Chains A and B, each alone.
Chain A
Amino acid sequence: MSKTINNDEEVKIGIYICDCGINIAGVIDTTTLTEYAKTLPNVSLAKEYTFMCSSIGQEMIKEDINEGLINRVVVAACSPRMHEPTFRTVVREAGLNEFLFEQANIREHASWVNLDDSEGALKIAKDHVRMAVAKLNELKPLEVELVKVEPTCLIIGAGIAGMYASLDLAQEGYDVYLVEKEPTIGGHMAQLDKTFPTMDCSACILTPKMVDVEREEKIHLMTYSEVDNVDGYVGNFDVTIKKKPHYIDQEACTGCGACAIECPVICGNEFELGIGTRKAAYIPFPQAIPGKYTIDMTKCIKCGICASPDVCEPDAIRLDQKPEYIDVKVGTIIAATGWDLYDPTELKQYGYGKYPNVITGFEMERLLSSYGPLEGKPVRPSDLKPPHVLGFLQCVGSRDFRPGKNKYCSRVCCMYATKQARQYKEKHPEASVYIFYTDIRAFGKGYEEFYESAGENFNIKFIRGRIGELYENKDHSLIVRAEDTFLQKQIEIKLDMLVLSCGLEPRHDSDQIASLLTIQKSSDGFFMEAHPKLRPVDTLTSGIFIAGVAQGPKDIPDTVAQAKGAASSAATLMAMGEFAIEPYYSIVLEQKCSGCKSCQSLCPFNAISFDVIKNIAVINKALCKGCGTCAAACPSDAIVQNHFSDDQIFAMINTAIPPLAKTENGGK
């Protein structure tokens, strides 16, 4: 007896087995699988083809639907997370409801994980196809829900990535809320002196863009602010932004700096990595945008000098300012939250924090900077004299395969060390500069040439070998021992100063951002892209994109390229104006609901309300995101989750386990 759909039409299932070249057929005997598929209930036909996702494969399905041979489709191929949208479109274009389709995963979950076990992979493939057919027999047509996409984007982080994404979107006509934690935009790039390989002055190329961001009308700049909460879904995110108190009225402040001149509190300047000083009333650096002052309440002694009318003429000081919470509605979100520098203190063998003349590459950047604390004349910290022998050690906090360490390559350190070495040689041609490296990775455009030139024209000595031993002399110079792995020889060099080329790490607070946005992180701790090659700026959460080092270590050109990519992806979504969401919401069967309210407290999205008159639960399908938690919990089985109903799931469970074969060795 055949199963029927609502209009009493007979269920006719078509099964399409994809060879995926040799990806599937190289392991699984697809001919046997096709023959097996034909024996399953309500299956009208089963076919095999090399690439089902190709246009020929897609046409095969369409033709069979159009000729009335089938009215439901199973494709046994890759993961539904890869091609479910492709085949749903095919089914829809052939005039069938796109939810009368099921994909059986026989590649990622069968052939690829059992390359040497054809029999085992075939067994799993059969089970997956049988489960798909069982579900398909129970599937019901569903209507896609279209939601409006608000033409506004939230961008978290105003470093070079966030700035470029904002500018692109603003110029395309979208409103942008650009949220930055620090009192200024610019991010880490503002702290760099020059950029490899062109030796552009970082500030010269960055600060004009910072001004553009401030001037652009469509960009609503929110510095010294944090994203406090994110609710809603693609196209309709409700975001709460916390504006931290500046203790200075930003509208009234003219940026004259009188408060900072008069402020009696002197403390370390974070922008200068503690090498320079600032006051409690401060601006991070002279070109900061917006150029308004902030009072650091953790340092302020509340003397009130700045508040006196003689000091602050516009009367902008507000020592009792409270945080402000602002609600905005946005359609898309780009997370460009950046990175932290690896802290080498834990690597005791290099003596960072113990020996004064061991510094990080980022500190070196500030020492070399013409607008840094030393005005571009680097000296060693112990005696404030320029070092004659300078060493750089690569891969500090990168490419370390010990448990709990960063296994990845940070990609920028080889080049920044070479650049800094060259900068130092330009200033002190008489000095000797050594770079101790693992491998030189000069991967970008013009990078290899830059590296070659550093050795050839600047006489920088590259030694292939990590430093094994380091100790300090009485005069604070350093003795380092390493193995030159090319010469296979132990070497010992006396250095005046050692720079640790530290790698990049995910921001310490990236966990909070990830859970706020419900996006995933890869095992290295950076935000995870939806597909490593084909969807590099998307996340698994629709409407949320990632850019810059937040996704993985990269240099400035790659960061800008990715930021522009993320902006383009967000713009595409907003230009469409509507987004189809999967109608996996749950519904309440009125007759079955006993009004126990168990479901109400379980819903993470407050989508379930209670109808007091009918004494039943009511689900708002616009708020429901389709997790099915309520359906699992309902003691009366009164809640049905679309596309994942009990009928469908239990049908799969009931056919999943084949009886043990006596003759065949399938069951063994």
Chain B
Amino acid sequence: MAEVKEDFDPYILGICCNWCTYAGADQAGTSRMQRPANLRILRVMCGGRMEPLMVIQALKNGADGVLVSHCHVGDCHYVEGNLKTFRKMPLFLKMLEQFGVNPKRVKYTQVSASEGAELTEIVKEFVKELKEIGPNPLRMEE
């Protein structure tokens, strides 16, 4: 399991809020911070819009990893939308484990609009971790 598969190119779907993490990813781009080409970002307005089912659906569809990220606690553009997800996630990750899914396939972070560098590090780290975990067996082949 711990063996790193170098030729495996993990697919990561990010579900990120418009005001912080999406903006932080924009900032990373504007600053030309280089990261491995593994992250696609689906934009929602608030971290509170994230439903666990969205993550499950992405994993079912074969995503190797899902990154859920929103504003830091206290910074939410909608005051406390992110807190709802903040409370949901620990339970959800526990549930995933009980379902037999490696909870490490889901990364949950808080990245602000000025933290492009942090996001870059998070993606690098996540790619490394996913390479250790290996491909999602549910990914379809052509």
Interface of A toward B, CB cutoff 8 Å: 79-82, 105, 107-110, 112-117, 119-121, 123-124, 127-128, 131, 511, 514-515, 518, 520-523, 528, 540-541, 584, 602, 604-605, 625-629, 631-633, 641, 644, 646, 649-650, 652-654, 656-657, 659-662, 667-668
Q: Chain A nearest CB: distance from B96 CB in Å?
A: 16
Q: Chain A nearest CB: distance from B103 CB in Å?
A: 19
B44 in contact with A649 (CB, 8 Å): yes
> Given A117-B37, A523-B114, A627–B22 Cβ distance below 8 Å?
no
B81 in contact with A629 (CB, 8 Å): yes
Going nearest first, the 4 A-B pairs with the smallest beta carbon separation are A120-B37, A108-B29, A629-B48, A628-B49
In the assembled complex, the Cα of A657 lies from the Cα of B79 at a distance in Å of 32
Q: Which residue of B lies closest to A668 (CB)?
A: B9
Chain A neighbourhood of B79, CB < 8 A: 518, 604-605
A657 in contact with B113 (CB, 8 Å): no
Given contacts A81-B18, A520-B112, A652-B42, 17 further A-B contacts (CB under 8 A): A79-B22, A79-B26, A81-B22, A81-B26, A82-B26, A108-B25, A110-B37, A113-B120, A131-B40, A518-B76, A520-B113, A628-B46, A629-B48, A656-B42, A656-B63, A657-B62, A660-B139
A108 in contact with B28 (CB, 8 Å): yes
- How many pairs, one residue from A and one from B, have CB atoms within 8 Å of each other in the complex? 173
**Which of B22, B37, B39, B75: most chain A Cβ within 10 A?**
B37
> Given A584-B45, A627-B48, A644-B49, A79–B81 Cβ distance below 8 Å?
no
> Given A114-B37, A660-B139, A629–B46 Cβ distance below 8 Å?
yes
Q: Chain A nearest CB: distance from B140 CB in Å?
A: 4
In the assembled complex, the Cα of A594 lies from the Cα of B137 at a distance in Å of 38
In the assembled complex, the Cα of A35 lies from the Cα of B16 at a distance in Å of 29
Q: Does any Cβ of A come within 8 Å of B34's Cβ?
A: yes
Q: Does any Cβ of A come within 8 Å of B98's Cβ?
A: no
- Which residues 16-59 of B sit at the A interface, judged by CB distance below 8 A? 18-20, 22-23, 25-26, 28-30, 32-46, 48-51, 54, 57-58
> Given A81-B22, A641-B49, A604–B30 Cβ distance below 8 Å?
no
A627 in contact with B34 (CB, 8 Å): no
Q: Which of B32, B41, B63 contacts A109 (CB 8 A)?
A: B41
In the assembled complex, the Cα of A521 lies from the Cα of B19 at a distance in Å of 12
In the assembled complex, the Cα of A127 lies from the Cα of B119 at a distance in Å of 20
Q: Chain A nearest CB: distance from B54 CB in Å?
A: 6
Q: Chain B nearest CB: distance from A570 CB in Å?
A: 20
Q: Does any Cβ of A come within 8 Å of B77's Cβ?
A: yes
Q: Which of A82, A108, A627, A661 contacts B49 (CB 8 A)?
A: A627
Q: List 20 A-B contacts (CB under 8 A).
A: A80-B43, A107-B29, A109-B26, A109-B39, A112-B29, A120-B38, A124-B40, A514-B75, A520-B112, A604-B79, A626-B45, A627-B81, A631-B49, A632-B48, A644-B45, A653-B54, A659-B62, A659-B141, A667-B9, A668-B7
B139 in contact with A116 (CB, 8 Å): no
B84 in contact with A629 (CB, 8 Å): yes
Q: Does any Cβ of A come within 8 Å of B11's Cβ?
A: yes
A540 in contact with B81 (CB, 8 Å): no
> Given A81-B22, A108-B25, A522-B114, A515–B74 Cβ distance below 8 Å?
yes
A632 in contact with B32 (CB, 8 Å): no
Q: Which of B18, B28, B32, B61 contacts A656 (CB 8 A)?
A: B61
Q: Does any Cβ of A come within 8 Å of B80's Cβ?
A: yes
Chain B neighbourhood of A511, CB < 8 A: 74
B140 in contact with A628 (CB, 8 Å): no
B141 in contact with A662 (CB, 8 Å): yes
Q: Does any Cβ of A come within 8 Å of B129's Cβ?
A: no
B75 in contact with A644 (CB, 8 Å): no
Q: Chain B nearest CB: distance from A608 CB in Å?
A: 13
Chain A neighbourhood of B141, CB < 8 A: 659-660, 662
> Given A520-B19, A632-B50, A659-B140, A604–B80 Cβ distance below 8 Å?
yes
Chain B neighbourhood of A79, CB < 8 A: 22, 26, 29
Q: Which of B19, B35, B49 contacts A629 (CB 8 A)?
A: B49
Q: Which residue of A lies closest to B84 (CB)?
A: A629
Q: Chain B nearest CB: distance from A33 CB in Å?
A: 14
Q: Which residue of B lies closest to A127 (CB)?
A: B40
In the assembled complex, the Cα of A649 lies from the Cα of B61 at a distance in Å of 14
Q: Does any Cβ of A come within 8 Å of B13's Cβ?
A: yes
Chain A neighbourhood of B46, CB < 8 A: 627-629
Q: Does any Cβ of A come within 8 Å of B132's Cβ?
A: no
In the assembled complex, the Cα of A510 lies from the Cα of B32 at a distance in Å of 29
B40 in contact with A113 (CB, 8 Å): no
B62 in contact with A628 (CB, 8 Å): no
A627 in contact with B45 (CB, 8 Å): yes
B77 in contact with A659 (CB, 8 Å): no
Q: Chain B nearest CB: distance from A285 CB in Å?
A: 36
Chain A neighbourhood of B120, CB < 8 A: 113
In the assembled complex, the Cα of A110 lies from the Cα of B8 at a distance in Å of 19
> Given A540-B23, A629-B78, A653–B42 Cβ distance below 8 Å?
yes
Q: Which residue of A lies closest to B18 (CB)?
A: A81
A657 in contact with B44 (CB, 8 Å): no
B40 in contact with A128 (CB, 8 Å): yes
Q: Which of B30, B32, B45, B139 contacts A657 (CB 8 A)?
A: B139
Chain A neighbourhood of B25, CB < 8 A: 108-109
In the assembled complex, the Cα of A653 lies from the Cα of B43 at a distance in Å of 11
Q: Which residue of B lies closest to A663 (CB)?
A: B142
In the assembled complex, the Cα of A605 lies from the Cα of B62 at a distance in Å of 37
**Which of A127, A514, A662: most chain B Cβ within 10 A?**
A127
B29 in contact with A660 (CB, 8 Å): no
Chain A neighbourhood of B43, CB < 8 A: 80
- Which residues 52-100 of B sit at the A interface, judged by CB distance below 8 A? 54, 57-58, 61-63, 74-81, 84
